[in-house]
């Protein structure tokens, strides 16, 4: 609402938020990663704390500090994130998957640093898909009545608009809410401002918000609150 955060409407609730970007090792010093700073997920965690929740923050390589008051569980990889989120979700009322989770990881990370060879041969890196943590949480419901929330950064393309892609993803994931973030044109990764549409499980828009990541975070909690 306009007085974001002045209602302590999450007192007594435990929320789990994943934030940041996972890193999948190629060798002891290199990884496949992404540009997620964790800012939006950290703002989600901060807003939940302001509203009185107990917050577990599963932080993957955060470029920003975790909010004081959150229980931080630091992770690196998608597999570690999955384990940490599922462990914390066992007694959570809400799980928000704001992390950018790798879709693929190297099958066999090298135990030693990959070296150039004299013959100029280039390594081929075989990848395997990671587990979709959000879809799995939505399917398993680790606690009865648990609300599961996903994020999706989308761009429009020749196959559909941002909202069409978001709707298809909402239907595929089975989460209660999907926060669709239009990226490009100065919005999204690494920028202070954000524009989102919150979709329900059927892909119907239930809220929109534009502003600081804090404003967006409170708009997300406003949309979650009726479900918990």
Q: What residue 162 binds from Ca ion, ligand CTP, none (CB within 5 to 8 A, per partner kind)?
A: none
Q: Does 55 bind ligand CTP (CB under 6 A)?
A: no
Q: What are the tokens at 9?
A: 């409407």
Q: Does 133 bind ligand CTP (CB under 6 A)?
A: yes
Question: How far is it, in rounded angstroms, from Cα 207 to Cα 37?
Answer: 24
In 3D space, the residue among 114, 21, 87 whose CA is nearest the CA of residue 59 turns out to be 21
Question: How far is it, in rounded angstroms, from Cα 220 to Cα 10?
Answer: 13
Q: Does 101 bind ligand CTP (CB under 6 A)?
A: yes
Residues in contact with Ca ion by CB under 5 A are 103
- Catalytic status, residue 34: yes
Q: What residue 130 binds from Ca ion, ligand CTP, none (CB within 5 to 8 A, per partner kind)?
A: ligand CTP
Q: Mask 143-162, x = binds ligand CTP (CB under 6 A)? A: -------xxx----------
Continuous segment of H or E residues that includes residue 42 = helix 39-50
**Cα 66 from chain centre:** 15
One residue of 27, 103, 164, 200 binding ligand CTP per CB under 6 A: 103
Which is closer to Ca ion, CB of 9 or CB of 103? 103
Question: How far is it, in rounded angstroms, from Cα 196 to Cα 63?
Answer: 22
Q: What are the tokens at 225?
A: 């609150």
Q: Which residues are catalytic, by number?
A: 34
Footprint of ligand CTP on this chain (CB under 6 A)? 78, 97, 99, 101, 103, 130, 132-134, 150-152, 169
């Amino acid at each position: 609402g306009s007085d974001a955060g002045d209602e302590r409407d999450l007192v007594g609730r435990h929320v789990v938020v994943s934030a940041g970007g996972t890193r999948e090792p190629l060798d002891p010093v290199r990884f496949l990663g992404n540009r997620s700073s964790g800012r939006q997920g950290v703002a989600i965690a901060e807003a939940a704390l302001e509203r009185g929740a107990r917050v577990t923050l599963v932080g993957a390589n955060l470029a920003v500090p975790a909010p004081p008051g959150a229980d931080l569980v630091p992770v690196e990889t998608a597999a570690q994130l999955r384990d940490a989120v599922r462990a914390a979700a066992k007694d959570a009322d809400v799980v928000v998957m704001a992390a950018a989770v790798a879709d693929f990881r190297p099958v066999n990370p090298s135990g030693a640093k990959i070296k150039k060879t004299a013959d100029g041969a280039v390594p081929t890196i075989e990848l395997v898909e990671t587990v979709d943590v959000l879809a799995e949480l939505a399917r398993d419901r680790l606690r009865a009545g648990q609300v599961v929330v996903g994020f999706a950064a989308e761009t429009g393309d020749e196959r559909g608009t941002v909202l069409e892609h978001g709707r298809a993803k909402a239907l595929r994931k089975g989460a209660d809410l999907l926060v669709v973030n239009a990226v490009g044109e100065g919005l999204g990764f690494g920028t202070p401002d954000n524009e989102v549409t919150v979709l329900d499980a059927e892909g119907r828009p239930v809220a929109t918000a534009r502003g600081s990541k804090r404003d967006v975070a409170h708009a997300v909690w406003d949309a979650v609150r009726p479900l918990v």
